[in-house]
A and B are shown apart, each in its own frame.
Chain A
Amino acid sequence: MEVAYFPGCSLHSSSELYDVQCKSVLGKLDITLREIADWNCCGATSAAKVNDFLALALPARNLGIADATGLAEIVIPCSSCYSRTLVAKERLAADPKLAAEINAELGDKVSGRIKVSSILEVLLPKVRSGEIARKVQKPLAGLKPAAYYGCLLTRFPSTVPVPDNVENPQGMEIVCRALGAEPIEWGLKTDCCGASATVNDTAQALLLMAKIMKDAIARGANCFVTTCPMCQLNLDAYQEQVREKHGIRARLPVYLITELLGVAFGMSPGELQIDRHLEESVGLLKELRLA
């Protein structure tokens, strides 16, 4: 199965490991990713704070390119890119005048044909079909992830079809259980970790991360799992500061969903580049005899 693929800037820079993992892990599920040509930055959280037109026009250009591939579906692993692209698709469909205004500047016009999917929307059918369970070589016994969705997988600035429960999504837990892990139940799975504010309103972001960490720890999690590279980097790179500032002793590795899939499929942490996390994240896997 071939699917169009939008990596976005994060997966081509600080979270390049997620790009590598998406290709290899989804490859094992017979999903071939075709990166769309000459894509641009989606504008992320920043564009909407600076210019409303750009916040829709930037992801629209990528949609036009994706529509031109003729493929049925595009997978966007980064939550921010996914949210901005899905919002642009729906807003342009609802506003033909705006669509015409944007299309006038584009070589590949937006037709709105292609389905915009998060990585969970690509994985869940593979759980239902049993393909994921069949590929598991090392069940993730003893791994108790707090599935962390963050903001942008289920909450949108305008009406879009949301493929999971808005307040209590379950997609990641379903994938984790198929891998033999024991995801915890907790209430902060869709709370904001403040990733867009960590460098510019640091104390606020550290406070939000502390609340999230404390709840995950209190409920018995031994790690986080997320699909969002922004949340992953934030909770990973700033965890030391969060622990220091808010008196938290426990450490929680922050795994990307593709890392849990890869480990369960028998891939090594090195192959998956889990050793590139800022917090040491291979030790727990070794302790549980998963690496």
Chain B
Amino acid sequence: MTAGALKVESAASLAQEVARRSGQNLLACYQCRRCAAGCPVGEESGVTPDRLIRMILLGDTQGALDNLLVWKCLACYTCGTRCPNDIQTARITETLKQMGKKAHLEPLLPKVAAFHGAFVKAAGQAGRFNELVGMGMYEMQAALGEFKRGGLKAAFDEVATQAKLGKAMMKKHRMHIKYESVKNKGEIKALYRKAGA
């Protein structure tokens, strides 16, 4: 893919905001591409960590927020571990997801956004992640999304796929009906409040 032209004004503000939020010194990137060689989702994303950093430095806000790497990144931290200048691009994709949400951008992979959103919500309600509750929240959102995009059949396929695994897990007593929660929920709520989540 091409990197596009430099947009001077947006470049300074975008790079600064990403650097401040992620704690990563993007300017240290000299495009050696060791991160690209190690990225497990680079090929399928069509964007590698070095390209993402380049887009940010060139001020391509739309490109930086709205690309598959931001949503496919698994936070495996391979790129950052191999970076000679200690830039952890997984922190950058985490940051860009949050910035995209703030800018009311529709996530490129809605199911990824729904999953992590449901996880954090479920963990906040009880203080612990109850798999049935969390997965239920996620499935509702994922199936609804599939319905909007692909109709009833797509929604049904989504639920059926997860139900198949759920059934196998049940058989091995790996699904827990038991609901666990933290006693001091006040503390959890206070932390979520402070986080603005």
Contact = CB atoms under 8 A, between A and B. Distances in A.
Interface of A: 9, 12-16, 38-41, 43-54, 57-58, 61, 101-102, 105-107, 151-152, 154-159, 166, 191-192, 194, 196-197, 199-202, 204, 207-208, 233, 237-238, 275-278
B116 interface: yes
B14 interface: no
A201 B75 contact: no
B33 interface: no
Contact of A43 (B44, B123, B162): B123
B197 A157 contact: no
A80 to B, nearest CB: 10
B40 A201 contact: no
Contacts of B77: 151-152, 155-157
Contacts of B169: 14, 237, 278
Given A38-B184, A237-B165, A12 B119 contact: no
Contact of B180 (A12, A58, A276): A12
B94 A48 contact: yes
Given A54-B197, A151-B77, A204-B44, A276 B172 contact: yes
A233 B78 CA distance: 22
Given A43-B123, A49-B116, A201-B109, 16 more contacts: A12-B176, A49-B98, A50-B98, A50-B117, A51-B98, A54-B197, A105-B187, A107-B184, A151-B75, A155-B78, A166-B81, A194-B40, A199-B115, A200-B109, A275-B172, A276-B172
Closest 6 CB pairs of A and B: A46-B119, A192-B76, A155-B77, A41-B123, A46-B116, A200-B115
A157 B111 contact: no
B123 A58 contact: yes
A88 B73 CA distance: 21
Contacts of A196: 74-75, 115
Interface string B153-197: 000000001100100110011111010101110011011101111
Contacts of B71: 201
B128 A54 contact: no
B120 A54 contact: yes
Given A38-B182, A41-B128, A49-B97, A201 B72 contact: yes
10 contacts: A14-B175, A40-B188, A49-B116, A53-B194, A105-B194, A156-B77, A192-B40, A199-B138, A200-B109, A237-B165
Contacts of A54: 120, 191-192, 195, 197
Contacts of A156: 77
A101 B78 contact: no
Contacts of B128: 9, 12, 40-41
B75 A40 contact: no
A202 B182 CA distance: 32
Given A51-B196, A196-B75, A158 B88 contact: yes
Contacts of B23: 158
Contacts of A41: 123, 127-129
A204 B41 contact: yes
Given A13-B131, A200-B111, A278-B168, A157 B88 contact: yes
Contacts of A47: 119-120, 123
A192 B74 CA distance: 8
B111 A201 contact: yes
Nearest to A203: B44
A260 B44 CA distance: 36
Contacts of B64: none
Contact of B195 (A13, A57, A197): A57
Contacts of A51: 98, 120, 195-197
A198 to B, nearest CB: 9
Given A12-B180, A45-B75, A46-B116, A105 B191 contact: yes
Given A14-B175, A51-B98, A156-B77, A208 B129 contact: no
Contacts of A52: 21, 94-95, 98
Contact of B172 (A101, A102, A191, A278): A278
A53 B115 contact: no
Contacts of B176: 12-14, 16
